[in-house]
Amino acid sequence: MKQTTPGGEQRAWTRTWTGRLCGALLAFCVAGAATAADDYPSHPINIIVPFSVGGSTDLVARLEAKALGQALNTSVVVENRTGGGGVIGWGGAARSAPDGYTLLTQEMSYAIAASLIKNLPYDPNKAFTNITTLVQVPHVLVVHPSVPAKTVQEFIALVKAHPDKYFFGSGGVGTNTHLGGELFNSLAGVKMSHIPFRGAGAALQDLLAGRVQAMITSVPTALAQIRSGKLRALMVASDHRIEALPDVPDAKESGLPGMDMQFWVGFAAPAGTPKPVIDKLNAAMVKSLQSPDMRAQLRELALEPVGSTPEQAAKLVRDEIARWHGVMEKAGIKPE
């Protein structure tokens, strides 16, 4: 007959009840998370946009805010919290409670800032939980009509023959328009000189006036000028042609397959936001892209719907941070 010591009985009893308590706590936590998602949202949601009203990111945020509010039966407010090249908005969002009531937009500038700006008040790889990449659109290489080149290869030949004659404009050091030009220089084996401006709008005005000869910018920024003939589009920086510019060749057709440069807009929440809440937001945002009205408005802005999973969105951000870090290193752009 098996003998049990008094101490053994006590340990067995302790293990049994510890196991039951852990199981009960786990069940409670799972039930609590599910309840939190079921009850969410119980009050208005705030979306922080780190840039001014009227830009592509702001327009996407406002379209999605309307659709999300209808889907979740709550008010969704867009707050333009500008300054510091986006850092004010991203930093404020990072300090917000991880409860699903403060969201933010992320785009290419977020990935660039990770290597461009020293001492960020947040960890760009850990501060946020991604919800989805909602839309994307390629950049486009545009030149002033006075440039005697009708194709990318003709333009490359011109720049090589006259290296001191051709300048590209940008919205400032480290912006997407700057890094796009540097990426083109690297892939094409040329050295257009960089002229930074205070914003992409100012750079575009000098391009239209012929004071700079080229610019690589997001399609929505230059689309009206391309359609009116005030600028000539030589290439969309993508691996495929796009509906908005069907006659403009893509990067592969132009002989520069590495010039795949997407402007993307995604949504994220502070790290620690419950997964059921993230999943609920993702489902609502992805579903909003099925709306004919939403798709028509995105088409008008030359934006392509994506609607990725949280995991796919997180991978995109990580990949973009790594990619633009490499471009900056090669171009000799130092953190500020």
**pLDDT digits over 218-247, tens only?**
898 889 999 999 999 999 999 999 989 999
Tokens of 314: 């997180």
Q: pLDDT tens digit string along 80-118?
A: 998 887 889 999 999 999 999 999 999 988 998 998 888
pLDDT value for 53: 83
Q: Closest by alpha carbon to 175, among 260, 93, 116?
A: 116
pLDDT value for 51: 84
**Amino acid identity, residue 174?**
G
Per DSSP, the three-state class of 107 is: strand
Q: What are phi and psi of 77, to 5 degrees?
A: -110, 130
Which residues, other chains included, contact 298 with Cβ-Cβ below 8 Å and sequence gap of 6+?
60, 63, 135, 289, 304, 305
Per DSSP, the three-state class of 132 is: strand
Packing angle, helices 108-116 and 87-94, rounded to 10: 90
pLDDT value for 5: 52
In the chain, which residue ranges form alpha helices assigned H by DSSP? 6-39, 56-72, 87-94, 108-116, 152-161, 176-188, 200-208, 219-228, 275-288, 292-300, 310-331
pLDDT value for 13: 47
Q: How confident is the model at residue 256 (pLDDT cuts 50, 70, 90)?
A: very high
317-332 average pLDDT score: 88
Q: pLDDT tens digit string along 24-72?
A: 455 555 445 455 578 999 999 999 998 888 778 888 999 999 999 999 9
Q: Distance between CA 28 and CA 30 in Å, rounded?
A: 6
Q: Distance between CA 103 and CA 33 in Å, rounded?
A: 19
Q: Across the chain, what does the average pLDDT equal?
A: 88
Q: Distance between CA 17 and CA 11 in Å, rounded?
A: 10
Only one residue has tokens 């009509």, namely 145
pLDDT(164) > 80: yes
Burial of 286 (0-12, 13-18, 19+ CB in 10 A): middle
pLDDT value for 216: 94
Q: pLDDT tens digit string along 169-208?
A: 988 887 888 889 999 999 999 999 999 887 788 889 999 9
pLDDT value for 327: 83
Q: pLDDT tens digit string along 271-300?
A: 999 999 999 999 999 999 999 999 999 988
Per DSSP, the three-state class of 219 is: helix
In CATH terms, is domain 45-136+263-331 a member of 3.30.1490.20? no
Q: Is the peptide bond before 196 cis (omega within 30 degrees of 0)?
A: no
Q: How confident is the model at residue 73 (pLDDT cuts 50, 70, 90)?
A: very high
Q: How confident is the model at residue 330 (pLDDT cuts 50, 70, 90)?
A: confident
pLDDT value for 198: 76
pLDDT value for 1: 47
Q: Distance between CA 239 and CA 14 in Å, rounded?
A: 63
In CATH terms, 139-237 corresponds, of 3.40.190.10, 3.30.950.10, 1.10.3720.10, 3.10.129.10, to: 3.40.190.10
**Amino acid identity, residue 22?**
C
Greatest alpha-carbon span in the chain = 102
pLDDT value for 173: 80
Tokens of 74: 């709550």
Q: Distance between CA 116 and CA 114 in Å, rounded?
A: 6
* Fold matches, 45-136+263-331 and 139-237: yes
Q: Domain extents for the chain?
A: 45-136+263-331, 139-237
Q: What are phi and psi of 176, to 5 degrees?
A: -60, -35
133-161 average pLDDT score: 95
Q: Closest by alpha carbon to 244, among 301, 289, 307, 177?
A: 301
DSSP state of 124: T
Only one residue has tokens 């004071």, namely 211
Give the Cα-Cα-Cα angle 287, 292, 298 (nearest 5 degrees).
85
**Amino acid identity, residue 108?**
M
